[in-house]
Amino acid sequence: MDSMLKTLRKIVQHVAVHGDFAQALRVLVTEVKQAIETDVCSIYLLSEDKTGYLLAATDGLNEEQIGAVSISLDQGLVGLVGRRAEPINLEAAAQHPNYFYLPESGEEAFNAFLGVPIIHQRRVLGVLVVQQTASRRFDESEEAFLVTLAAQLASLVAHAEAVGDNAIRPRVDGQSPQALSETCFKGVAGAPGIAFGQVVVVHPVADLDAVPERQTDNVTQELLLLDRALESVRRDIRKISEEFASSLPKEELALFDAYLHMLDENALAGDIRNRIQRGQWAQGALKQVIREHLDRFELMEDEYLRERGADVKDLGLRLLVYLQDIREKKSQFPQEMILVGDEVTPAMLTNVPPGRLRGIVSVQGSGSSHVAILARAMAIPAVMGALDLPAYEIEGETLLVDGHYGEVFRRPSQRRLAESRELIEQARVFDEELDELKELPCITQDGWRVQLWVNIGLSGDITRSLDRGAEGIGLFRTEIPFMSQDRFPTEAEQMALYREHMTAFEPRPVTMRTLDIGGDKSLSYFPITEENPFLGWRGIRVTLDHPEIFLVQVRAMIKANEGLSGDLRIMLPMISSPAELLSAKVLIDQAYAEVLEEGADVKPPQVGVMVEVPAAVYQARLLAKQADFLAVGSNDLTQYMLAVDRNNPRVAELYQDLHPAVITALREVARAAHAEETPIGICGEFAGTPAGAVLLMAMGYHVLSMNATHLPKVKWVIRNIKRSNARRMLAKVLRMGYAADVNQFMHQQLTEAGLGRVLPHHHD
């Protein structure tokens, strides 16, 4: 049995590498049949129309029938295993009332039957069956073995289903590929919006792996080649940057400068040159250096930094193209195109004639990839990490991209295309309307004023935030600039960055959060390795233990505000007791006194607490008394209240921001703050959702801080509703016991209030 598990592992790897699902099933049935020493092993999989189970692989039955024999869901023992969702083990199957005889499969003679369901995320996807002619009872260990096997097989089947693998489709003679139906591929949201168009696949023309390592006897010549390649790539990047200059804010354009820096003599170029001087030819030296850098990036825990590995690879390939002199440019572009690639890079966007690019899909990458950042800035819908999408097989096909939900539809139906056309047009008209709200206050129809602020950090998107009418910064995630360094930034470095934001936002208030590392955010130069990082040394716990880091940061914040009229608000993350607030205040007072002593003319900062740990909800009243403001971090608060890791896709469905427990907690915090007359805000993603914004406004949150992208829509919703109406909704919601009910109720209420335009369209 041990060796069977090894076999299974081998098969899983085989499929992961080659994607050959049908072959994997064939190997599996043969191996199982041998291991259990029986006559037949078969796998039945749910048909595409979900009306029955199709014979997908067999060793022992008539192989001609694979893909042809179908057992409906309510038929036979296979159907029964599926319906019960548990194993059925019989000595004499023919005597069971559910026994169902399929003459064409040639199973007449079999007596002993053991069937186990193949289940993925609560859904029965198929049944694994072993049978034997002679009367026999499969023993418990055999049953346990098959259950283990089926559980592992389930994710493979789910994957095959997702990619529309032929092994789980009925065989219909003469079916042309066009007749295949629509398939949906899941990825993550990269940039919001819906788009469709013809696929243009981009791929790197050069292949670093194929470069041989070779010694050269003409070092000078190789160095010359390198210099030329470097110069050409630099020129290309500058050109790309210029092409983007009119369509991108300057912070995003800075990405290209960062690119150029990676080529500097003290970075990649110097490393490559060293290798050449030691005798390696230019291409081999390039390959070695890029590999080493990539290895280092892959080890990084921080997603944002890991994504920078993609930039290094892109630069490496660009250099190789020049070293090998194999430039290839696509010359034909459809009018409406979707750019698809295994790893789409910003540079790949540049060959596309402006105005034709409708959407972007990258098989690799995440919402923090540069391409996703650029796509958001250019308002091009994008889906990242669509791992199952067979990118290289779909050139020229029509693809529909849904950047709200991170979904890609291959062979979209006429109905879906028509619907999307309408949605795109509606969005365009709506965006024009939203633009007109920019200068207007966020005020309900019955005169209740709410402040809409922005969360900033990743790309320093100052311009975009101000363009959308942000009235302040509600959360500056200071850890982001810390992450892109190889040591703690100095006080002067921090001050310059903070001041840039404060100046741009003056006279608006700016909320600077002190360093929030730990959890899923770590610094390469300050590693924290823990079994349970979200419950470990995180946020304020780290900085209170390291006053030298905390004090420098707070001093930088205070100094950065010198001479500016906007309020500086210092916000403390992960507070789980009032004692932490008091300790932090002592340090902040110390920093302020030092800065005054140095002669700076600065106002004392306001000090606020993030309510993102359940303990802080229960002590909100005391915290509100001692702090100048409270701000709920609903991302973490939801994670800690529901005990659901916010980054784990397996439990993503349990992460419900409309969970009644979370809503009640949010209301309690607001009440506590009101009782102490302390301003209360929120800076989690929830504030940027239409339902969330309405409920929070009803609860009396003064400040909603969100990603700039969501700001105009939230303003529109609030300007088009009465607070009295929102309070009525809140009262009903507070009596509900299920997240699904809250969700449905709010959807219906917003639609009835004429606010349906902001609700992202749900696919059926």
Considering only CA atoms, give the Rg of the chain: 30
Strand order, beta sheet including 88-90: 70-72, 52-59, 40-46, 123-132, 112-120, 88-90
What is the C-alpha to C-alpha distance for residues 398 and 396, in angstroms, rounded to an integer?
7
Q: Which is nearer to ligand PEP, 364 or 635 (CB)?
A: 635
Candidate list 293, 370, 659, 702, residue with the active-site label: 370
List helix spans (H) across 478-519. 479-483, 491-505
From the list 419-427, 632-640, 652-660, 747-755, the region that binds Mg ion by CB under 5 A is 632-640
From the list 44-52, 473-481, 619-627, 630-638, the region that binds Mg ion by CB under 5 A is 630-638
Helices (H) and strands (E) in the chain, counts: 25, 22
Name the token pair of 684.
């989690």
Q: Which is nearer to ligand PEP, 403 or 684 (CB)?
A: 684
Binding region for ligand PEP (CB under 6 A): 475, 477, 516, 612, 633-636, 683-684
CB-based contacts of 394, cutoff 8 Å, min separation 6: 199, 201, 340, 410
* 3-state DSSP of 675-724: HCCCCEEECCHHHHCHHHHHHHHHHCCCEEEECHHHHHHHHHHHHCCCHH
Q: Shortest distance, CB of residue 624 to Mg ion, whole angstroms?
A: 19
359 with 382: CB under 8 angstroms?
Answer: yes
Q: Which is nearer to ligand PEP, 307 or 388 (CB)?
A: 307
What is the C-alpha to C-alpha distance for residues 617 and 610, in angstroms, rounded to an integer?
10
Quick count: other Cβ atoms within 10 Å of Cβ 731? 10
59 contributes a contact to Mg ion by CB under 5 A: no
CB-based contacts of 276, cutoff 8 Å, min separation 6: 216, 219, 222, 223, 226, 282, 285
Q: Which does 634 bind (CB under 5 to 8 A by kind): ligand PEP, Mg ion, none?
A: ligand PEP
Q: Which is nearer to ligand PEP, 616 or 698 (CB)?
A: 616
Binding residue (CB under 5 A) for Mg ion from 284, 403, 633, 712: 633
Q: Shortest distance, CB of residue 518 to ligand PEP, whole angstroms?
A: 10
Number of residue whose CB is nearest ligand PEP? 633
What is the C-alpha to C-alpha distance for residues 259 and 318, in angstroms, rounded to an integer?
12
DSSP secondary structure string for all residues of 413-479 = -HHHHHHHHHHHHHHHHHHHHHHTTTTS--B-TTS-B-EEEEEE-SS--HHHHHHTT--SEEEEETH
What are phi and psi for residue 742, nearest 5 degrees?
A: -60, -45
The answer to whether residue 442 is catalytic is no
Q: Which is nearer to ligand PEP, 610 or 742 (CB)?
A: 610
Angle 303-324/219-244 helices, nearest 10 degrees? Answer: 120
Q: Which does 679 bind (CB under 5 to 8 A by kind): ligand PEP, Mg ion, none?
A: none
Q: Which is nearer to Mg ion, 216 or 455 (CB)?
A: 455
Q: Which is nearer to ligand PEP, 475 or 641 (CB)?
A: 475
The answer to whether the peptide bond before residue 679 is cis (omega within 30 degrees of 0) is no
Candidate list 293, 683, 702, 710, residue with the active-site label: 683
Instruction: Draw the binding track, 590-629, toward Mg ion (x: CB under 5 A; -: no contact).
Output: ----------------------x-----------------
The answer to whether residue 683 is catalytic is yes
Q: Which is nearer to ligand PEP, 420 or 634 (CB)?
A: 634
Q: Shortest distance, CB of residue 290 to ligand PEP, whole angstroms?
A: 32
Q: Shortest distance, CB of residue 593 to ligand PEP, whole angstroms?
A: 29
Q: Shortest distance, CB of residue 482 to ligand PEP, whole angstroms?
A: 13
Coil, helix or strand at residue 149: helix
What is the C-alpha to C-alpha distance for residues 264 and 473, in angstroms, rounded to an integer?
34
CB-based contacts of 189, cutoff 8 Å, min separation 6: 367, 383, 384, 403, 404, 405, 406
Q: Which of 498, 479, 511, 470 is nearest to 706 (CA)?
A: 470
Q: Which does 683 bind (CB under 5 to 8 A by kind): Mg ion, ligand PEP, none?
A: ligand PEP
Q: Shortest distance, CB of residue 253 to ligand PEP, whole angstroms?
A: 25
Q: Which is nearer to ligand PEP, 133 or 635 (CB)?
A: 635
Q: Which does 684 bind (CB under 5 to 8 A by kind): Mg ion, ligand PEP, none?
A: ligand PEP
Strands of 600-685 (E only): list them: 606-611, 629-632, 680-682
Name the token pair of 514.
């002190």
Q: Which of 588, 517, 632, 511 is nearest to 623 (CA)?
A: 632
111 with 146: CB under 8 angstroms?
Answer: no
Q: Which helix (H) or strand (E) holds 136?
A: none
What are phi and psi for residue 181, nearest 5 degrees?
A: -90, 175
Q: Shortest distance, CB of residue 635 to ligand PEP, whole angstroms?
A: 3
Q: Shortest distance, CB of residue 500 to ligand PEP, whole angstroms?
A: 20
Q: Shortest distance, CB of residue 476 to ligand PEP, whole angstroms?
A: 10
Q: Which does 477 bind (CB under 5 to 8 A by kind): Mg ion, ligand PEP, none?
A: ligand PEP
Q: Shortest distance, CB of residue 683 to ligand PEP, whole angstroms?
A: 4
Binding residue (CB under 5 A) for Mg ion from 161, 407, 636, 657: 636
Q: Which is nearer to ligand PEP, 343 or 516 (CB)?
A: 516
Q: Which is nearer to ligand PEP, 452 or 683 (CB)?
A: 683
Q: Give the pairing of strands 70-72 and 188-191.
A: unpaired
Q: Which DSSP state fits 605?
A: P
Four-residue CA torsion sign, 346, 349, 351, 353: negative
What is the C-alpha to C-alpha distance for residues 412 and 388, in angstroms, rounded to an integer?
17
Q: Which is nearer to ligand PEP, 55 or 480 (CB)?
A: 480
Four-residue CA torsion sign, 305, 311, 313, 319: negative
What is the C-alpha to C-alpha distance for residues 664 and 760, in angstroms, rounded to an integer?
25
Q: Shortest distance, CB of residue 441 to ligand PEP, whole angstroms?
A: 24
Q: Shortest distance, CB of residue 634 to Mg ion, whole angstroms?
A: 9
Distances (CA, A) of 585 to 155, 435, 536, 581, 606: 51, 41, 22, 6, 10
Tally the C-alpha atoms within 13 A of residue 286's C-alpha that lie toward its C-beta: 31
Q: Which does 475 bind (CB under 5 to 8 A by kind): Mg ion, ligand PEP, none?
A: ligand PEP
Q: Shortest distance, CB of residue 654 to ligand PEP, whole angstroms?
A: 17
Q: Which is nearer to ligand PEP, 182 or 520 (CB)?
A: 520
Q: Which does 555 bind (CB under 5 to 8 A by kind): Mg ion, ligand PEP, none?
A: none
Query: Which residues contribute to the site for Mg ion (CB under 5 A)?
Result: 612, 633, 636
Q: Which residues are catalytic?
A: 370, 683
